[in-house]
């Protein structure tokens, strides 16, 4: 697909390789990696800023991203192992994390040059485990729109600080179901600063709040092969809508469409 040069985004933070030893399968992934690949395929020029090791998995990460046309000029390589997540499948479809081997991801941090590079992008995606939380205020204050994946940890004492929410423009979190606690939680997060806060509920759809009203959207029905990467793909579709100036229902619809394409295959993109 021909790229729209006005649409640019960067995934910053956690990256790893998911390894399914029982199935003899693996693939390069990470919250921002999956997000960037989906956006790249939708015509957005993307970049990844993270770190890999000097092992075969690091080379496979570079190969996979280059194949997608993603800029890896700031994908650092450090001596050691690429971060790995040892995985299994429950009931044939639900992912199960068995063990994390942090490798070079453990000591990753942004340099001044990294942050200067990020400032060139109007949108960045990050996560809780890429050692970037301490840099959010500086990057957000520089005008970078921050898309943040809080996953299932938005109420974890380590991550639910109001200041973190205040440095985010579009916050996403995973919840089991919609109830009064979740709606009040979205209101609280949005009051801290994000323009839109969205909760995803797996096969129960999603809920967005913009400070004035709630928006609900269901899923796109499809065959379920594997649930890995569904949240990242939804966020990518939603972000694509934001970048194109769509209203919230249209962003949610795009998120549902992109995520439906992921659950129907083994890989997360």
> At residue 247, does pLDDT exceed 60?
yes
Mean pLDDT score, 251-257:
97
Mean pLDDT score, 223-236:
83
Distance CA(4)–CA(14), nearest Å, equals 26
Mean pLDDT score, 7-36:
94
**Which pLDDT score is estimated for 165?**
94
**4-12 vs 16-20, strand pairing mode:** unpaired
Mean pLDDT score, 201-221:
95
**Which pLDDT score is estimated for 5?**
56
Q: Which residues contact 39 (CB under 8 A, 6 or more apart)?
A: 9, 46, 236, 239, 240
How many residues does this entry show for the chain?
269
Least confident of 15-19, 32-36, 94-98, 125-129: 94-98
Write out pLDDT tens, residues 171-181.
999 999 999 99
> At residue 3, does pLDDT exceed 60?
no
The H or E element that residue 208 is part of is strand 206-209
DSSP string, 33-86: HHHHHHHHHTTEEEEEEEEE-SSHHHHHHHHHHHHTT-B-TTEEE-SSPPPEEE
> At residue 140, does pLDDT exceed 70?
yes
CB 133 within 8 A of CB 155: no
What is the SS3 assignment for 104? helix
């Amino acid at each position: 697909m021909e790229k729209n040069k006005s649409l640019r985004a960067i995934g910053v933070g956690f990256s790893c390789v998911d390894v399914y030893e029982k199935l003899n399968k693996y693939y390069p992934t990470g919250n921002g990696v999956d997000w960037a690949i989906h956006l790249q395929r939708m015509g957005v020029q993307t970049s990844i800023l993270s770190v890999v090791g000097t092992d075969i998995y690091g080379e496979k990460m570079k190969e996979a991203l280059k194949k997608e046309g993603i800029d890896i000029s700031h994908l650092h390589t450090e001596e050691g192992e690429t971060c790995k997540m040892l995985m299994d499948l429950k009931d044939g479809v639900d992912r199960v994390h068995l063990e994390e081997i942090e490798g070079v991801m453990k000591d990753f941090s942004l340099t001044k040059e990294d942050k200067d590079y990020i400032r060139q992008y109007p949108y960045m995606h990050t996560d809780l485990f890429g050692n970037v939380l301490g840099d959010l205020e500086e990057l957000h204050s520089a005008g970078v729109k921050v898309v943040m994946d809080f996953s299932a940890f938005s109420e974890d004492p380590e991550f639910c600080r109001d200041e973190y929410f205040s440095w985010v423009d579009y916050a996403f979190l995973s919840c089991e179901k919609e109830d009064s606690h979740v709606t009040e939680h979205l209101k609280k997060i949005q009051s801290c600063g994000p323009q839109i806060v969205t909760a995803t509920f797996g096969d129960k759809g999603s809920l967005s709040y913009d400070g004035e009203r709630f928006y609900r959207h269901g899923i796109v029905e499809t065959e379920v092969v594997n649930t890995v990467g569904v949240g990242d793909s939804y966020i990518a579709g939603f972000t694509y809508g934001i970048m194109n100036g769509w209203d919230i229902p249209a962003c949610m619809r795009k998120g549902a469409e992109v995520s439906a394409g992921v659950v129907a295959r083994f890989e997360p993109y």
